[in-house]
Structure 1
Amino acid sequence: MSEDAIERFVGGVTGHSRLVLLVMVLLTAGMFGGMAQLDSGSQAGGTTDMFPETTVAEKADYVSEQYSTQDGEQQSAPAMVYVQPASGNALSKDALLGALHYQQAVLDADAVASEIQTDQPTSVANLVASRIAETPDATLDEQITALDAATDSEVASAVRSTLTADSEALALLPRSYEPGTAHAESHRMLFEFTAGEDGQPPSAAQRALYEAASEREGFFTLGEHARAAGSQQLNANTMELVVPFALVSILGILAFAYRDVVDVIVGMIGVGVSIVWMFGILGWLGVSAGMTMIIGPVLIAGLSIDFGFHVFTRYREERGSEETIRAPMARSMRGVALALGLVTVTAAIGFLSNVANPVGSIRDLGIGITLGVIAAFVIFVTLVPALKISIDGLLERVGFDRRNAPLGSGSFLRPLLSSSVTLARKAAPVIVVVALLASAGGAVTWTALDQESFQQQSEPAAEWKQDLPEPMGWDQPAYSQHSRYVQGAYSAVATDASQRFQLLVEGEVTTDGSLDAIAAATDRSVFTDSRSRESLRSPVTVIQSVAATHDGFAETVAAADTDGDGIPDTDLATVYNRLYEVAPEEARQVVERTDGEYRSLRVIGPAESAGMTDDRIDEVRAAATAIEDRGRDLQATAVSQAAVLDSQLDVVTDGIIRVLVLALAAVFVGLVLIFRRVHDSATLGVTTVVPILMVTGLVVGGMYLLDVPLTLVTALLMSLVVGLGIDYNIHISDRFAQELDRGREPVDALRVAVTGTGGALLGSTLTSAGAFVALLLHPHPQLQSFGILVVLTLVTSFLVSVVVLPSLLVLWARHTSAVRTTAQPTTVAAARSDD
């Protein structure tokens, strides 16, 4: 945009403020209409996956498709109900009887009875009661009658006889239980339902289990309805503890920075309208909001607050003691509108670089935030100055003086900010070298960052947070307490292979030695789980178990076993053929035969943990590697929820690096072209980009020092660092260039830029960082990492812009001055020769 166009635009806004307000109010009303059409789902048109597709995920789908149709396992979905009585013994007569009465109540519900795959759940109470009734197939009513009639000692004796060291029922008890005793702190009941389309138990059945458990003391579930209630309580806790602290921080810092309640109100109106416009535009364009619903308002609020600081600070700088409002507002907007425009363009470039991200939801997030940045720019160059003119004009007409000093002009902040200019004048090369080394060192730590799919809360909220006066006191959600207890006390349990660690072995599966490779690789602790309801299942174990009961097949195995270890070594196709003849159901579970060809083998290991991660996945991967190392024609893949999530995190991490490089390259080119066009200096654009590189490296180093892991969430935020880091440096460089154009010497121009614009940046940093610091109050480590990373980015960007960038600008000024000095005699000599 040319200077004449900016002049006309600013003149229109400041000269016709009431008309501008009317137009903006009408447009904002239209944005509310767009919000009504907003698609807040995480997917739109199938283009916005939450997670990227990976090879491991494809292999997991392959296992599900090829083997589920063969053994029918995938049709079952488990639901657990836990019994933890206040008496402390879940194996007492009363506790066991209570469990049976609970089963009786839920089985009377149509939602449960119509979907359960067995006549009754699997639980210790059923096993003990059936033993007492001396009828293994006793009905639930018969079990209740028998248990009710038994004495406490008879029940204890039956418990000890039932729960022996080799009993599969041990999987229904906590790991702390000693087999053969009649005391346990809790136990769980397993309901097996027909799986829905999402692979989960029917929602109505889960609701019936949850509601019945909620009515009984000592009973709980961890299904979707319990989780929803926990999320609702968590949101209430956040609103009552974190949000008030964040609002108090924002308003307190804004009050300190502005020292004027009217400017605080006008600025916050601009923030709110910017967010409304972002969602309104998304609604009208039909772009899925998805993750933008959560992250968008946070980022746009921070950027809008920064825009507001620059608008108000520059206006305060420009307004003289005897001036009215419109003229200084016009002068200030002519200067600041260009800077805001530069920030908008380059921030948009940074955010739009996320279209190269492999995760669809992040691509949509990049689009959404870009629209929010553009919306904030429009609001703060139209609505906010027009509203400021109108309100200040009204207040001054009734006798209020609306002149205020800008932040950074006080006796404390001005010397503090200007000290970086003095330091740059005296030791610019040293500062730049130290900053480059620090950022390079930080960038190197990228490979040392801990990688996790998700951070999980393992400890309850600190007692002091729970002891705060209401309503701020943190009420520990029952779901969180129960979830932590189960994860710590119980071994994982699964009703089908989809909930277990699995190995998919592909390639030449009939090659000699293939089964030996599988047997050797699975002879490790991860595939041995004494509490598992089902032991290791593989082609080797199935072949051995069938051979033990079928003499003809045993002869086939013996003929193919050249070393006598019970594992066929050669002629495996014949062994597989014979296995399919004598035991087709067992064969289909572990050997894939399609169109007469054997294409893959499956190993089914122990149940996977219920959480998002499982440390045992590394050992399962090692088993896959061992198979490939021993069987040269085999390809083995570890398949499980944890494996899929880890592979997706690797893809996201690689995508973040690609996005960062693309963003930095695009910003570099954009700033060079823009500064060449606006300030007639491409090298000034290059100088402005360098601190952004430094911020990226320093933020990575800060993550390493503060033990912030690289998760799917923090990896996403890393892709937005460039967009956040651009803002501060552009404001300083642009103001510096403007002051040079006004005829100031470089050091004086830099001092004005750092104390004037730097004061606005300080206010913006304190406000945004103060809001995100509130996240540290949240007990969940994922939100704490979110807060730490954003605060780290904001503070680092500010410090680099007011400490390192001045030194770079001093060196740039010296270089350009030297170039002009060198060029001047040459020009004179050439002129003289022409004469």
Structure 2
Amino acid sequence: MVLLSGVVVAGIPQLDTGSQAGADADAFDDVERVQKAQYAQSQFGGSDDGPDRSFEAVYVRDDDGNVLSKSSLLAGLRYQRTIRENETIDAALHDDGVTGLSNLVAKRAAGSPNASFDEQIRALEGATPAEVERLVGRTLSNDPRALRYLPADHGRNETTATDRRLLVAFDADAGNGTVDNATAALYHSASERSAAGFFVVNSAAMRDARSHFFGEMVELVVPAALAFILVVLGFAYRDLVDVVVGMVGVALSVVWMFGLLGWLGVAAGMTSIIPVVLVAGLSIDYGFHVFNRYREQRGEAEAIREPMRRGVSLVATALVLVTVTAAIGFLANLSNPLPLIRDLGVSITLGVVSALLIFLTVVPALKIEVDGLLERAGIDRHKRALGHGRYLRPALTKAVTVARRAAPAVLVLTLVVGSAGGVAWADLDEESYQQNDGVVAEWKQELPDPIGWDPHPVPERSQHVDEVYQPASAEAATQEPILIEGEVTSDDTLEDLRRGVDYIDEQGLVVDRADTPGVRSPVTAMQSVAARNDSFAAVLDDADTDGDGVPDRNLEGVYDAFYAADSEVASSVIERDDGEYESLLVTLSLDADYADASDVVPELAEGADRMADGDDRTATVVGNLAVNDAVLGEVVGGILTTMVLALAAITLTLAAVFEYMHGSATLGLVVSVPIALVLGLVIGGMAVLSIPLTLLTALLMSLVIGLGVDYNIHVGDRFADERRAGAGTFEALEAAVTGTGGALLGSTLTSAGAFATIALVPHPQLQSFGAIVVVAMTTAFAMSVLVLPSLLTLWDRYVPASVATAATPAEIPQD
């Protein structure tokens, strides 16, 4: 195994740590919104004339001061000089360069809209603070460009503000590498002036924040998780040697997983953290069962090797069955269209298989060698199994007492609670992801270094920017198209289109600034062409019977004239095929992002409904927000299907294996019942804890099956072994609950405790992940030692010839 481990570990350098984002190209082709989006792209997205520039914003913030003061505006101009003198930034600058409110005010101070940059600085330096304040007022009142640099709610008569921004225009033709380097340089230059309130939230800032977050997470969570695991292992094993041997097996299992991923070419970028934690938890569980059964088997006068052989032989069948059924639950994700989820299922499966091999070979062999060496040195290695202690044994045997006295009541109560939890599935909120707000509890920040959390400013700044500003330009805003198909030449088409746009605008979603049009539609495109083409303007005016600027008759003739006036503009909003008009496109620039999708998409759909006309004319939102919302629904529905199929496959597998091993397929069916109950309780726990369904949490729901199956198999297999050896029903239950249940308790404490430390991480996604796994493991343990004994009691009571048993000794006659 050492030699084989060397071969496996050689695969680690080949590990693919690339991105796993995105989905298969044809994975969602049957989703209507995806189909419509692809159609809209094919008909209206063919132009190669994209924007020739992109904007990066540099923000200035002073919560206790005035960023429109003379000193702040001058600081802005001097910062612009620094940018212009930076060769990396200058190489990517567009001809529009760097602009801000300070430039507009300084040009007024200089008395010329064409004042050079040096003239602007000299003019502003020579003005008094009172004069600058008057210039700011006149600029805001008379220059429509001014509000572009200020918060969305800033009024034209306000001469003070706590926030403003500069806009840096980068040349789109400069090349990605050049622009990326300039973006990083912009971040560093703003960071150097953070004391003056300058900051950016661009891609370079986000990368730095993610790197910082990962480092802080490792420093805070890993020590806490390791300390908790070691404390619980110390309590469970009460032996340092067993703790060390067990942790060697855990480390080997994780290393094997990564080695196999490397050899098989499975990506491990985003999936690295989750499989490590899950496989470590399951490995610890395997170790508990191997060591606990060995301790139970070893008599006072016995040597080491023979009881280890018996213990491993007894526990091996259960571990193999656990591995197979858990793999079914994890590999069920291969049907998922997201590579991230498929790779995660494969990674965990490889890790579980690795743990099985390690804990049935390396760990027992190492245990024999170490214990043999210590006993030869005169150190006694007899240890009591967890679950047989003075305090724990009475507590665990109460579950057997409950099963003896009230098994039907336990079954009914559990079914009611589990069903109630399952019903809560429909009420769970759906979100694309849970956004980090950057808030960190003070006590986490006050912990001693290095474990104290040092919050990074970017998350809070990003949220502040989202709340305060509108996008810098239409190109920078979220673009959400609406595709109108069917009868698009009827007289009321464009009127209905306007009503739909007005509804969406009334919800405050559309970017609303004079310099940034928030809507591009057939109507706005026609109006722009009419402004420079008198003959088309006449056609447009003749088709508008009510004078509201929207044609409401002879639309086919209007479309013909539109194409004749400017076919390029017309084809960007109206589809014509062989002289027939097939569809229209409305594109909205939204003051929203992906975090708002669950609230924004229903409003967009409501506006689209106002553009439709029954079956004659349809309107579909086909932008990224709407498509992602539809895909999330498909993923959630797909995972629900995956869970049902995985449960069915595991149930059939357990029935077949228990029929082969113990002569009873019905026992396998009984053992599988708690898995479904665990699933229901986890869903109920999500509802109680207000955990939404995201791509990550929906994925974890399918993994719950792989986690929940473990504990029940161990108890069910141990019960069958004891019954087959001739023990009575409750004697067998007591052996299963105290012996195997003790190992399960240790496993639950270590795994759930380690995952609970993830709650220390100030990010809702990770907190949700940790909470779901903790709920899954604790409920799985509760089902195995509190509910499964009652199910086994009823099964043994009512199923004839329930399990093949050995001959029992003749009873002694009683007087």
Residue in structure 2 matched with residue 794 of structure 1 by the alignment? 777
Residue in structure 2 matched with residue 566 of structure 1 by the alignment? 549
Residue in structure 2 matched with residue 15 of structure 1 by the alignment? none
Quick check: 1:386 aligned with 2:386? Answer: no
- CA distance in 1: counterparts of 2:795 and 2:175, whole angstroms: 60
**Matched position secondary structure for 2:520:** coil
Shift of 1:459: 5.5
- CA distance in 2: counterparts of 1:300 and 1:485, whole angstroms: 39
Residue in structure 2 matched with residue 238 of structure 1 by the alignment? 217
Shift of 1:87: 6.7
Pick one of 132, 139, 145 that aligns with 1:162: 139
Residue in structure 1 matched with residue 168 of structure 2 by the alignment? 191
Measured at CA, do residues 420 and 94 of structure 1 come closer, stay the same or move farther in structure 2, by a change above 3 Å? Answer: same
Quick check: 1:738 aligned with 2:721? Answer: yes
Measured at CA, do residues 802 and 75 of structure 1 come closer, stay the same or move farther in structure 2, by a change above 3 Å? Answer: farther
Residue in structure 1 matched with residue 404 of structure 2 by the alignment? 425
- CA distance in 2: counterparts of 1:135 and 1:598, whole angstroms: 50
Matches within 5 A, 1:650-689: 650-689=633-672
Q: Is the 8 A contact 2:148 2:472 kept in 1?
A: yes
Pick one of 602, 626, 630 that aligns with 1:643: 626
Q: Is the 8 A contact 1:732 1:757 kept in 2?
A: yes
- CA distance in 2: counterparts of 1:340 and 1:207, whole angstroms: 51
Matches within 5 A, 1:390-539: 390-458=369-437, 460-496=439-475, 499-524=478-503, 525-526=506-507, 528-531=510-513, 533-539=516-522
Shift of 1:820: 9.8
Q: Is the 8 A contact 1:207 1:225 kept in 2?
A: yes
Quick check: 1:770 aligned with 2:749? Answer: no
For each residue in 1:505-532, what CA deviation from the matched residue of structure 2 results, as whole angstroms up to 9, or x when unmatched? 2334334422122111111213554457
- CA distance in 2: counterparts of 1:607 and 1:47, whole angstroms: 25
**Larger CA deviation: 678-687 vs 166-175:** 166-175
Q: Is the 8 A contact 1:43 1:49 kept in 2?
A: no
For each residue in 1:558-607, what CA deviation from the matched residue of structure 2 results, as whole angstroms up to 9, or x when unmatched? 44335554322333232123223335565355334567654432223233
- The code of the aligned residue for 1:183 comes to T
Measured at CA, do residues 509 and 710 of structure 1 come closer, stay the same or move farther in structure 2, by a change above 3 Å? Answer: same
Q: Is the 8 A contact 1:529 1:606 kept in 2?
A: yes
Residue in structure 1 matched with residue 233 of structure 2 by the alignment? 254
**Matched position secondary structure for 1:120:** strand
- The code of the aligned residue for 1:419 comes to K
**Matched position secondary structure for 2:586:** strand
Shift of 1:701: 0.7
Shift of 1:48: 6.5
- The code of the aligned residue for 1:515 comes to L
Shift of 1:549: 5.8
Residue in structure 2 matched with residue 271 of structure 1 by the alignment? 250
**Matched position secondary structure for 1:122:** strand
Residue in structure 2 matched with residue 347 of structure 1 by the alignment? 326
Measured at CA, do residues 220 and 664 of structure 1 come closer, stay the same or move farther in structure 2, by a change above 3 Å? Answer: same
- The code of the aligned residue for 2:292 comes to T
Q: Is the 8 A contact 1:51 1:648 kept in 2?
A: no
Residue in structure 2 matched with residue 211 of structure 1 by the alignment? 188
Pick one of 346, 351, 358 that aligns with 1:367: 346
**Matched position secondary structure for 2:620:** strand
Quick check: 1:113 aligned with 2:93? Answer: no
Q: Is the 8 A contact 1:492 1:610 kept in 2?
A: no
Measured at CA, do residues 235 and 661 of structure 1 come closer, stay the same or move farther in structure 2, by a change above 3 Å? Answer: same
- The code of the aligned residue for 1:131 comes to R
Q: Is the 8 A contact 1:728 1:797 kept in 2?
A: yes
- CA distance in 1: counterparts of 2:17 and 2:293, whole angstroms: 38
Measured at CA, do residues 658 and 74 of structure 1 come closer, stay the same or move farther in structure 2, by a change above 3 Å? Answer: farther
- CA distance in 2: counterparts of 1:319 and 1:493, whole angstroms: 74
Residue in structure 2 matched with residue 36 of structure 1 by the alignment? 13
Residue in structure 2 matched with residue 6 of structure 1 by the alignment? none
The TM-score normalised by the length of structure 2 is 0.92
Q: Is the 8 A contact 2:438 2:456 kept in 1?
A: no
For each residue in 1:469-519, what CA deviation from the matched residue of structure 2 results, as whole angstroms up to 9, or x when unmatched? 222222110212321221232234434177333323233433442212211
Pick one of 786, 789, 793 that aligns with 1:806: 789
- The code of the aligned residue for 1:72 comes to D
Pick one of 661, 681, 692 that aligns with 1:698: 681
Residue in structure 1 matched with residue 807 of structure 2 by the alignment? none
**Matched position secondary structure for 1:743:** coil
- CA distance in 2: counterparts of 1:249 and 1:467, whole angstroms: 20
Residue in structure 1 matched with residue 811 of structure 2 by the alignment? none
Quick check: 1:618 aligned with 2:605? Answer: no
- The code of the aligned residue for 1:739 comes to E
Gaps of at least 5 residues in structure 1 are 1-23, 822-835
For each residue in 1:64-100, what CA deviation from the matched residue of structure 2 results, as whole angstroms up to 9, or x when unmatched? 5654554834554321111125872211222222222
Pick one of 107, 110, 113 that aligns with 1:133: 110
Shift of 1:150: 2.6
For each residue in 1:24-62, what CA deviation from the matched residue of structure 2 results, as whole angstroms up to 9, or x when unmatched? 221222222101101122349x97789967554565565
- CA distance in 2: counterparts of 1:115 and 1:66, whole angstroms: 32
- The code of the aligned residue for 2:650 comes to V
Residue in structure 1 matched with residue 808 of structure 2 by the alignment? none
Q: Is the 8 A contact 1:776 1:787 kept in 2?
A: yes
Residue in structure 2 matched with residue 713 of structure 1 by the alignment? 696
Residue in structure 1 matched with residue 768 of structure 2 by the alignment? 785
**Larger CA deviation: 196-205 vs 33-42:** 196-205
Q: Percent identity?
A: 49
Measured at CA, do residues 297 and 612 of structure 1 come closer, stay the same or move farther in structure 2, by a change above 3 Å? Answer: same
- CA distance in 1: counterparts of 2:495 and 2:763, whole angstroms: 46
- CA distance in 1: counterparts of 2:36 and 2:787, whole angstroms: 49
Shift of 1:719: 1.2
- CA distance in 2: counterparts of 1:642 and 1:750, whole angstroms: 54
**Larger CA deviation: 679-688 vs 290-299:** 290-299
**Larger CA deviation: 35-44 vs 393-402:** 35-44
Q: Is the 8 A contact 2:61 2:198 kept in 1?
A: yes
- The code of the aligned residue for 1:188 comes to R
Q: Is the 8 A contact 1:358 1:651 kept in 2?
A: no
Quick check: 1:582 aligned with 2:565? Answer: yes
Q: Is the 8 A contact 2:434 2:765 kept in 1?
A: yes
- CA distance in 1: counterparts of 2:121 and 2:44, whole angstroms: 39
Gaps of at least 5 residues in structure 2 are 805-815
**Larger CA deviation: 309-318 vs 646-655:** 646-655
Pick one of 81, 88, 94 that aligns with 2:58: 81
For each residue in 1:90-144, what CA deviation from the matched residue of structure 2 results, as whole angstroms up to 9, or x when unmatched? 1122222222222222233344334333332232122222232333344433333
- The code of the aligned residue for 2:709 comes to I
- CA distance in 2: counterparts of 1:33 and 1:477, whole angstroms: 37
- The code of the aligned residue for 2:589 comes to P
- The code of the aligned residue for 1:734 comes to D
Quick check: 1:228 aligned with 2:207? Answer: yes
Q: Is the 8 A contact 1:49 1:359 kept in 2?
A: no
**Larger CA deviation: 572-581 vs 250-259:** 572-581
Pick one of 287, 297, 304 that aligns with 1:318: 297
Q: Is the 8 A contact 2:601 2:629 kept in 1?
A: no
> Number of residues paired by the alignment?
796
Matches within 5 A, 1:815-830: 815-817=798-800
- The code of the aligned residue for 1:143 comes to Q
Measured at CA, do residues 803 and 34 of structure 1 come closer, stay the same or move farther in structure 2, by a change above 3 Å? Answer: same
**Matched position secondary structure for 1:604:** strand
**Larger CA deviation: 671-680 vs 460-469:** 460-469
Residue in structure 2 matched with residue 21 of structure 1 by the alignment? none
- CA distance in 1: counterparts of 2:134 and 2:48, whole angstroms: 38
Q: Is the 8 A contact 1:78 1:190 kept in 2?
A: yes
- CA distance in 2: counterparts of 1:86 and 1:302, whole angstroms: 47
